[in-house]
Amino acid sequence: MGMSRSENMRRIRSKDTAPELMVRSLVHRLGYRYRLHRKDLPGKPDLVFPSRKKIIFVHGCFWHGHDCSSVARTPKTNTGYWVGKILRNTERDARHQSELKALGWNLLVVWECEIRDAEALSSRLTSFLE
Q: Render each residue's pLDDT in the chain as its tens digit; 130 residues.
A: 566 656 665 666 667 788 999 999 999 999 999 999 999 999 999 999 999 999 999 999 988 988 886 655 777 888 889 889 999 999 999 999 999 999 999 999 999 999 999 999 999 999 999 9
| Residue type at position 31 | G
The reported pTM is: 0.86
**Rounded distance, CA 3 to CA 42, Å?**
34
Please give the domain boundaries of the chain with CATH numbers for all domains.
13-129 (3.40.960.10)
CA distance 105 to 47: 12
Tell me, what amino acid is at 82? W
